[in-house]
Amino acid sequence: MREIQAIMRQIASSITYLPCLDEKCVFDVLAYTDTDVAVPFTWIESDPKLIANPQMVKLHSFDTKIHRVDTLVSYKNDEWDEQ
């Protein structure tokens, strides 16, 4: 449980270096799993959500005896479009 709390704190503190958003936004939380893993019934399967010119920030990862969780924030870097 402490590992998940640490990830949530890191996501919240990442606003200091993520781009400022002036309009309302939607955030997708994606979970990539092995094909043989049982997932909750309420999860929806989707295609990969690829971002053009992505900027990625790797966050805290942790490993239990059962699961490995890697976290990453990925967003579009509009500055690259202007160049």
Q: What single-letter amino acid sits at 24? A: K
Q: What is the pLDDT of residues 42-51, one digit of tens each?
A: 988 888 888 8
Domain that holds residue 34: 2-82
Q: What is the pLDDT of residue 42?
A: 92
Query: What is the domain-level CATH number for residue 9?
Result: 3.30.900.10
Domain count, the chain: 1
Query: In whole angstroms, what is the distance from residue 44 CA to residue 23 CA?
Result: 26
Q: Are 73 and 7 in contact (CB under 8 A)?
A: no
Q: What is the pLDDT of residues 4-61, one digit of tens each?
A: 777 778 777 776 767 777 888 777 788 888 888 888 899 888 888 888 888 888 888 8
